[in-house]
Amino acid sequence: MHHHESIQLRVDRLVRERLEPARERAAVPVRTEVWHVPDEPVPFAEAVRGSFAPVGAGEPWGRPWATSWFRVSGTVPEEWDAGPDDVELVVDPGFVGDSAGFQVEALVYDREGRTLKAIEPRNDYVRLGLGPGGTFEVYVEAAANPNIIGESTFEPSPLGRKETAPDRPLYALGRIALVHRDREVWELIQDVHTALGLARELPLASPRRAELFAALDAAVDAVAPHDVHGTAGLAREALRDALAAPAARSAHRVYAVGHAHIDSAWLWPVRETVRKCARTFSNVLDLMDQDPDLVFACSSAQQFAWIKEFYPELFERIRERVAEGRFVPVGGMWVESDTNMPGPESLARQFVEGKAFFLREFGVETHEVWLPDSFGYTAALPGIARAAGAEYFLTQKLSWNEVNQFPHHTFAWEGIDGSRVFAHFPPVDTYNSTLSPAELAHTERNFADKGRANTSLVPFGFGDGGGGPTREMMAAARRAASLEGSPTVRVAAPAAFFAAASAEIDPVPVWSGELYLESHRGTYTSQARTKRGNRESERLLHEAELWAATAAVRTGADYPVDALRRSWHTVLLQQFHDILPGSSIGWVHDQAEEEYRKVAARLEPLISDAVRTVTGTGGGERLWANASPFAIDGVPAFGVAPRRIEGEVTLEETPAGIRVTSDALALAFDGDGLISSLVDRATGREAVPPGRRAGLLQVFRDTPRRFDAWDVDVEYRRSGEDLTAADSVEVVTAGGERAVVRTTRTFGRSSVTQTFTVRAGRDAVDIETVVDWHESQRMLKLAFPVDVHTTTARSEIQFGHIERPTHTNTSWDTARFETPALRWVHVEDARFGVGVANDATYGHDITRHAREGGGTYSLVRQTLLKAPLFPDPQADQGTHTFRTSLVLGGVAEAVRAGYRLNMPLRPADGVPVEPLVRSGADSVVVETVKLAEDGSGDVVVRLYEALGAPVTATLGLGFDAGTAVETDLLERPVEPRCAVAQEPGAVTLTFRPFQLVTLRIPRAGA
């Protein structure tokens, strides 16, 4: 074995000292000039008119986020014995190390403005297609993107905003030269990497290992130190037999898919993502010209749409490769979104808009969900995916689990409604593979479903602006196609993998429920303004579609298709898995807030106009428009009517505190302004456990081990501080229609004002929490101890809810210490329940504790704020408002409270308006009312069963309707999944638990 170590030393030195320097047979300098763009990037047509000046190697350039254009020209020497494929321009704009995607990047254009290829640290060449005597002139657009993540130390950085970044150059221009490439030496380097890499992965006593080292030893002998170019072929011959030995019949089968995971924003702004896409896609097309075997998969319709808008010539070349089946759209979503926090209609629209784009532009129907990097996966996703026509699912992210290893790599994933998709987790444990022998060996060793299956997918290519697949990776794939001791490798499209993998495994193991990521739990909370912008924009889109559809049906008004689609595209982009989760630089979140403001400015007038169109003007009493699927204060769901409030609230101030009583509940505040008692008057049940107080604010230290904005580590629980002392407790409204109590508190450098409201006719306490937040590395929670003995809690997810254990019996339960929910969470025993609803909070923790007098109680906490320092050191500073509803009753009451809190009544004038549709069952919720995407004027209704039980329900129709048709999410007819019966004015449907249904209803006579 020591002999093998000696050979490895010989090989390493051969590569380092002889082969790498011999990649080039010759090199000559070129003429280089530069123009520094004054501010934001400019298009090619403007750049070529810049004032270029000579520049040389070593000259500093590029303040953070700046752009410089280099004009490079030269002539191929006549004496070079080089063909067109051997002459290349090598560009080093100032690389710092070889970190790909997190530093300077560049894109090369020809004189006509056609993109040629990108420049990255491990992909630094441009083929010129010239022979001896040929001349060229190209333009290099170089982006001085700062390396914010550094050495992964996660220290606060001023580089995340242009206004805080230092105004000094980041880079110094490196070598730019015309080179004569030695292809034989390059091929030898690839041979050596494969042989040596494979040998290192084999058992020490393996004969195959010994064979490879012997061949490598002979290859070193074959290379003459002073004639590397002339003897490289002899070295390749020495390795030939060892690299020709075929793989074993039982070898693991790898389907290698060219890929470049490009975060649509993260440590760079969205505008830079547009350029990263152009660079990577240019590389891919250039590599396809070189190598007919490359197949490249690309998700995110948004990224294709950017290229179509900003690089139309490049988009047309992509279209040609898509038609060939080599540039493959996958995933079918607008972006690779987060899946825990988008609302139900938003997650559906990710597929509607994504798949529609691919069908419209390429005629391609995608059948897989492609989310390698999102931070956990909602149990609603299989049902939504199936409703969109998808049947496969891929991610890699659960390999990041901190505690438990997921038991499968290939399985069927079952959602809350019983829908299943065929799922795969690449056992290579990366979506940026280089197809190295080490990665391939890990794939085979790690694959969890041996015996049942033997096939996996490996996405290969540098992501995030690293440039995608390289010719070195393709060389590695070719050498590993059938190689003894290694998995076999076939470069193919994802569809080929899924067909092979689903055919070989029987029976398919099933995983039911969410795919919870045991990491990055802080993403449910970080950057609260971005999260509020998402929730409010979802509300506005819901209202805009509902009232615009109502106006179109009732009055013939135009339906604002373009404004709605534009707004949806904005909101869907912000749901990308590093924007909505709050894990991007400050620039990204500043821009997100501005985009949400634009959405509001576009939709608010549209909603007001639509409501005014249907109500008219004048009339008697004040009206209210209700966009909720449930009646609120007597205003019918989806209708416009006066409020009708019954009952009265009384308030009494006593030496012990404040007592508030309504028909539904009796509430007591102690001297600190905390809820000491909450009694359900219908049952007499006390909701607050003995010795506990609800509405309690708690502050915790928040110093994760690694990723500030991403993570919440369980150790935070050791450092809690209860904010009990009140600066003031005052009665604002003493009774009648409502009673209002307000408290103020200060802590650290921050202050908080809480307003508690009890309204007549409601079984809830509404709480508004306004926080002026100036903490760092601290976390704020709002706690509700609930006198309910249970081992589970329910949390709303898209089109239903999920039940999670609140005990810690297993390591899986223990690791699930912070969980996401949409609009509400709920705990109950056999006879009594309490829900906690929110208007923009996603992070929760729900635990069980020993109760005074015996038994246990449940502790429900909302996580309101974090204060991470990385990647945005100013994250969440300033004023925030949170609205919470503490509601007594079952899950149905929690569902109603969630919609009420998120769809507040809108004031209106004129005459009442009857709803377009009415649900005849409390458990069947109408989520969306809109007009059809195809412009036909048909009414589209999306509805679901919300409580988890079969039900037959009637959907009342408030317009003259034709025959209702069940459709998929893209509004295409499907084989009925639920029984549909229709009579005048009504459609009767039979739902299974949590079933999602889309109905398309023509308007009679339209």
Q: Which residues contact 39 (CB under 8 A, 6 or more apart)?
A: none
- What does each C-alpha distance from 150 to 55, 102, 154, 870 come to in angstroms? 28, 9, 8, 12
Kind of pairing between the strands at 917-919 and 951-957? antiparallel
Give residues with Cβ within 8 angstroms of 562, minimum separation 6. Answer: none
- Distances in whole angstroms, Cα of residue 692 to Cα of each of 659, 763, 829, 850, 886: 17, 21, 19, 12, 16
Residue 755 near residue 829 (C-beta atoms within 8 A): no
DSSP 245: P
Q: Report the amino acid identity of residue 578.
A: D
The 10 Å Cβ neighbour count of residue 438 is 12
Contact 115, 282 (CB under 8 A): yes
**339: which residues sit within 8 A by CB, 6+ positions away?**
347, 371, 374, 376, 377, 378, 381
Residue given tokens 């699912």 in the structure block: 393
**Catalytic site residue from 110, 373, 609, 670:** 373
CA nearest 771: which of 671, 867, 885? 867
Q: How far apart are CA 627 and CA 916, in angstroms?
A: 11
- Angle at which helix 228-244 crosses helix 183-201, to 10 degrees, equals 40
- The CA distance from 903 to 343, in Å, is 13
Task: State yes or no: is 373 an active-site residue.
Answer: yes
CA Rg, the chain, in Å? 31
Beta-bridged to residue 982, according to DSSP, are 987
- Judging by DSSP bridges, how do beta strands 640-641 and 623-625 pair with one another? antiparallel
Cα-based angle 707, 710, 714 (whole degrees, multiple of 5): 80
Closest listed residue to residue 973, CA positions, set 934, 1006, 1002, 999: 999
Tokens (6 digits) for 737: 């229609």
**CB-count exposure of residue 643 (10 Å: 0-12, 13-18, 19+):** middle
Distances (CA, A) of 292 to 17, 200, 289, 318, 399: 32, 30, 7, 15, 32
Q: Which residues pair with 181 in a beta bridge?
A: 24
Single-letter amino acid, residue 797: I
What is the set of active-site residues?
A: 373
